[in-house]
Amino acid sequence: MARLRAAGRKALIPYITAGDPEPVATVPMMHALVEAGADVIELGVPFSDPMADGPVIQAACERALAHGTALHDVLDMVRRFRERDADTPVVLMGYLNPVEVMGYTTFARTAAAVGVDGVLTVDMPPEEAHELVRALRAHELDPIFLVAPTSDRRRIEAIAAAASGFLYYVSLKGVTGADALDVDAVARKLEEVRAVTDLPVGVGFGISDAARAAAVSVVADAVVVGSALVRRIAEHAQEPAAAREAVGGLLRAMRQAMDAAVHPAETARS
């Protein structure tokens, strides 16, 4: 992320739920995401009770769990992804309980061994995260944390102190896939965040099309897109190739719009 920032390029971070619509689709989809311009992949670990997610990702979790996709399966998908892609960073995003059951140390050791780069547990604020953060850092994994519109300066400082890699700014009060993005409000909050930390800031929740991705990329270091991709995967649940094409199409459109928004002159020349 720091490298991208130095190059003046904004990162595009697609999210998919591992095992959705079935486990064999995930690794090919991850490669398709990279081909379409993903700089980092956020791989969702399915959970039975995804409290912070909207209906689209809830349904993805249910599809993945119907195939029994467990945390160790997700780690195995990363291992297989790494056979062909050693570079693209992979961040696991999920809820705490599967990690608790596996055990922090076993999880961190295995995740590092298969090539995971960062871990975001959405229902674990920094106050509760000391032990997990210690385990992750011991294996050179980045603990990624959320910052929200409701986080005050004191909280942003605590979050930045616990985090490495990047911060994930939740663009709105709501769940994933909500439709209430206010880019000006995001820009104002990111100023607050940047007054506190030098960590790159990714923005997600509610970024559903190229125009919104472009608008957010002007103020953020990275754009996270999840529900919009997962919806396309659901629409093509029976046809994995068509799903990859649909997802890739949206990502490419976002990539193009983001580059045009950030470097209008260069894009016009090219």
Partner 1 sequence: MQNSNDETLTRMPDAAGHYGPYGGRFVAETLMEPLLELTEAWERFRGDPEFLAELEADLRDYVGRPSPLYHAERWSRELGGAQIFLKREDLNHTGAHKVNNTVGQALLARRMGKRRIIAETGAGQHGVATATVAARMGLECVVYMGAEDIQRQAPNVYRMRLLGAEVVPVTSGSRTLKDALNEAMRDWVTHVDDTFYIIGTVAGPHPYPAMVRDFQAVIGRETREQILQRAGRLPDALVACVGGGSNAMGLFYPFLEDRDVRLIGVEAAGLGLETGKHSAPLCAGKPGVLHGNRTYLMEDGDGQIIETHSISAGLDYPGVGPEHAWLKDIGRAEYVAVTDEEALAGFHRLTRTEGIIPALESSHALAYAEKLAPRMDRDAIVVVNLSGRGDKDLNTVARIDGIAL
**Annotated catalytic residue 53:** yes
* 168 vs 147: CA distance, rounded Å: 6
For residue 54, CA distances in Å to 61, 175, 176, 251, 256 come to 11, 5, 5, 21, 27
Place of tokens 């956020």: 42
As measured in angstroms, the least distance from the Cβ of 35 to partner 1 is 31
**Helix, strand, or coil here: 128?**
helix
Our CA dihedral for 253, 258, 259, 260, rounded to 10 degrees, sits at 90
Binding site for partner 1 (CB under 8 A): 47-52, 54-55, 58-59, 62, 65, 68, 70-72, 95-102, 122-125, 127-128, 145-152, 155, 159, 170, 173-175, 178
Which of residues 81 and 145 has its CB atom nearest to partner 1 in the complex? 145
Tokens of 199: 């960590």
Q: How far is CA 144 from the centre of its chain?
A: 10
Place of tokens 């068509």: 242
As measured in angstroms, the least distance from the Cβ of 104 to partner 1 is 12
Percent helix, strand, coil in the chain (nearest 5)?
55, 15, 35
Which of residues 35 and 127 has its CB atom nearest to partner 1 in the complex? 127
Q: Which of 42, 117, 221, 259 is flagged as catalytic?
A: 42
As measured in angstroms, the least distance from the Cβ of 98 to partner 1 is 4
Which of residues 4 and 102 has its CB atom nearest to partner 1 in the complex? 102
As measured in angstroms, the least distance from the Cβ of 169 to partner 1 is 10
* 59 vs 54: CA distance, rounded Å: 9
Which of residues 49 and 140 has its CB atom nearest to partner 1 in the complex? 49
Looking at residue 201, its amino acid is V
As measured in angstroms, the least distance from the Cβ of 19 to partner 1 is 12
**Nearest residue to 201 (alpha-carbon basis) of 158, 146, 251, 248:** 146
Which of residues 15 and 95 has its CB atom nearest to partner 1 in the complex? 95
Q: Is 199 left (phi over 0), alpha (psi -120 to 50) or beta?
A: beta
**Annotated catalytic residue 42:** yes
Give the catalytic positions in this structure: 42, 53
